[in-house]
Structure 1
Amino acid sequence: MPSNTTRKLLFTCLYFSEGAPIGFIWLAMPTRLRAREVPIEQITWLTAMLVLPWTLKFLWAPLIDLLRSRSWTLRHWIVTAQTMMGLTLLPLLWIDPLEQLGWIAATLLVHAVSAATQDVAIDAYCIATTTLGERGQFNGWMQTGMLAGRAIMGGGALILSTYVGDGFVTVMLIVLTTFSMSLVITLPQQVLVSTDGDRSFRLREIGQSIKTMLSRRNTWLGLLFGGVGGAAFKSLEVFYGPFLIDRGVSQDTIGWFSMIPMIGMMIVGSLLGGWLTDRGGVKKTVGGALVLLSTSVVALGLADQFSGLQAETYAFPILSIAALGIGIFTASSYALFMDLTEPKIAATQFSTFMGSTNGCESWSSYASGLIIAATGYSAAMYSMAAVSLVMVPVLFLLDTRKSEQVA
């Protein structure tokens, strides 16, 4: 069995490979497009569309639970999906996002389907190899990997492209997206969930587990919270780059801020969130983080509307505080959803919860784009923060009291 440290390294690297293309597609590309005067509503439309596979991944997640055996494991799913992720990024070497936005959208949509499939398999593998008392820490390290990848290929890509060109940045993106499959292949396999037996029996067993899942109040409250609770920061992560561009901040400055202070505070928040979750209670940690980041988003809107200062003066400190809240919220809420998940259908149930959070990103990004185009950035910030805060009482209706299970 791999050691605790080895497992943390594996999942940190896997999430790093997820974070690299997310940083590029959801930060670097929108910022570049806005710098080239692409309308903000087109940028948020593209992002909202690319989030859809992450929202709908629960539709094919049962296949990952069902089509598993000793000859085709979760690790095979991860390697196959990661290979497709790399292949679908290759066209970025010759497609101009500005001139051929439709083609780039189609290519990245296939990439998003592959990435969402990999995410389902990684999360199921994590649930199968961890216990309740350590999932906060694991999610903290996984988010650290995710955020490091986002930093390098989000803000880092904006900086590097100035010196080495877009082509080199794209090659680097492909390498960082696919390197972690080598760890999946070489590390000893840990099988804690039985994958043998009659396929029809397993299909009935999974079907019964899904039926039970859908009958529980926890499931529907969790989906409601996931689909609405993160609106404040999910939308902020998409439009803060274009927002800073519109306030006169240079692309390089945005890149440095995103790569170091912003992502750095998210990493601190993720590790802190994991620690607080395992020691102070998951619901208290999630709720406190949600209040912190929503308040920060409101403060950013107020400062932008009334301060009259240069954007760097007010936006960078407030965004850094929001980033701390985002890190705490992400690590603790993922641990919350893992605790609510039945290991036998881990791929299906956890991906359903995560699909709701990605659905939140999709609708909140699109809605924010429409609000920004109509009335400005501040109105979008106030609206999304209010929606998030309404979900705090829902969080405390969830029942997280369950006996510890080893899958």
Structure 2
Amino acid sequence: MTLRSARRNWVLGLIYLSEGAPIGFIWWALPPMLVSRGVPVSEVALLTALVALPWSLKFLLAPFVDALNFLRARYAAQVIFANFMMGLTLLGCIRIFTEDFQIQELKWLLLTHALFAAWQDVAIDAYAVRTVDSNDMGKANAFMQLGMILGRSLFGGAGVFLADHLGAPVFLSLLVGFIWTIAIVFGSLTLPSLKRRLVETKDVAGIKPQVTRYFGDIWQCTGSVNFWLLVLLSFTVGLSYEGTAGIASAKLKSMGFPSHLQALLYSFVVPVATAAGAFLGGWGIDRFNEKRLLVLVVGICSALSVVSQVGFSIGWPPLTILVSFAAFYILIGAVTTTQYAFLMRRTVQTLAAFQFSLFMSVTNLCESFATSIMGWADGAGLSLYIALGLSGSAFVLTIFTLRFLPVRFVANSG
């Protein structure tokens, strides 16, 4: 790894840190904060689902993000602007927690926050696709996943403790300061290289041919069989773990799993194991046959998902569950990094925002689908059978998809 690529990987990990922090707050820390203020669990779940909507539809933002890039508002500059607006919307939430609590006002602020967060997400991934060399995709994705995990852990896993002891206003102020500080550091590291590429009126005449070519590239890309195989792969890989991981926290609680051990599991074991797996996957995909590696990690992860369901069924002791979950999340980290690097290598640079954000939206769809069906299966007493079905589907469909994808290709080549 050269000094330049190492610096770029650390920069990507840093900005992913600012992406993971507010996600951790919204998904892990905010629900208990709302419940403590008398908001029903059903309404909290509805709020969380609503706020997640912009992330699921973020591919619709992609043409807008790419168009701004044509206008010289480069991806790095968009990331910084989105970060600033994310912090600004969270500042509005502070007032809600210090005055008369209004859930509707909070809902609209968080929805606006999520829109800017989705914009940030699309711009970051496009920036990574355009700046990372294909041979470094594994290492770069490992750093990105590490940043995401650490951000979620700091303001999600530890966020519940911080919010309880410092109060919601102080906790949110720390979160906003954290996001803005990273935006400033990221800007100081990336903006000088942009060389004043801001919008200039004299450049506007040259935009139309770029836009015409851009939408022509989208048409050609979406008409490619290879493109739709990648979309299928974006969905199927996550079936190896999303269902089990999605219900695990609630399932452990219903089993009477000790609260202090569950806190240890999600604030330490899961983040550390996922980060370790991410680096293993990133290291492996840069050195070995990427197709075989992806099949291998999906196969092992699928098996461990079923093993976890067996543990739920027979009621494994806490220590056994901790060890099995450590192994499970190491594989989740490896699968995620390997899958993302594989997809990034096949993303057309001129369509960086559109194509990769669509892949990521499909992975979000997989998460919702697998978690929903596994939740239903748990209530019907069919968890183990559904886990077998999902895991088997993930393994078989991954092999099928990779069988028809060429080793290396230009995604819009048809």
TM-score strictly above 0.5:
yes
Report matched runs for 1:136-175 at 5 Å: 136-175=138-177
Of 228, 231, 237, the residue aligned with 1:229 is 237
Question: Contact (CA 8 Å) 2:295, 2:395: kept in 1 or not?
Answer: no
Matches within 5 A, 1:7-406: 7-29=8-30, 46-69=47-70, 71-93=72-94, 95=96, 104-189=106-191, 190=193, 198-249=206-257, 251-306=259-314, 308-310=315-317, 312-375=318-381, 381-382=387-388, 384-396=390-402, 397-402=404-409
- 1:143 touches 1:331 (CA, 8 Å); kept in 2? yes
372-381 or 255-264: which moved more?
A: 372-381
Residue 21 of structure 1 contacts residue 153 of structure 1 at CA under 8 Å; is this kept in 2?
Answer: yes
State the alpha-carbon separation in 2 of the partners of residues 285 and 352 from structure 1.
23
Cα distance change of structure 1 residues 37 and 317 upon mapping to structure 2, 3 Å threshold: farther
Q: Structure 1's 101 and 253: CA in aligned 2 closer, same or farther, altered over 3 A?
A: farther
**Cα deviation code 1:183-238 (max 9, x no counterpart):** 2321244459x996711101111011101111111210111121232134334444
* One-letter amino acid of the counterpart of residue 131, structure 1: D
Question: Structure 1 347/400 Cα, relative in aligned 2: closer, same or farther at 3 Å?
Answer: farther
Partner secondary structure for residue 406 of structure 2:
coil
Query: Using CA pairs below 8 Å that are at least 6 residues apart, which structure has the higher relative contact order?
Result: 1
Distance 1:313 1:124 in 2: 42
**SS of residue in 2 equivalent to 1:88:** helix
Whichever residue aligns with residue 341 of structure 1, its letter is T
Distance 1:42 1:273, change over 3 A: farther
CA 1:79–1:125 in 2, change beyond 3 Å: closer, same or farther?
same
Tell me if the contact between 1:52 and 1:362 (Cα under 8 Å) persists in the aligned partners: no
Relative to 1, partners in 2 of residues 1:71 and 1:340: Cα closer, same or farther, differing over 3 Å?
closer
Deviations 1:271-330 (A, max 9, x none): 111110010122222222222222222111111112x344x2332222211110111111
Q: Distance in 2 between matches of 1:100 and 1:209?
A: 46
Greater radius of gyration (CA)? 2
**SS class of match (1:341):** coil
TM-score normalized with structure 1 length? 0.86
RMSD of aligned Cα (Å): 3.2
The one-letter code of the counterpart of 2:91 is L
Q: Which amino acid aligns with 2:354?
A: T
Matches of 2:31 and 2:241, distance apart in 1 = 16
Note closer, same or farther for the CA distance 1:92–1:316 as it changes in structure 2 (3 Å cut): farther
Percent identical residues:
29
The residue type equivalent to 1:79 in the other structure is I
Contact 1:293 1:325 in 2 (8 A): yes
Report the AA paired with residue 76 of structure 1: A
* Contact residue 213 and residue 219 of structure 1 kept, 8 A: yes
Structure 2: give runs of 5+ residues left out of the alignment: none
Q: Contact 1:232/1:294 (CA < 8 Å) preserved in 2?
A: yes
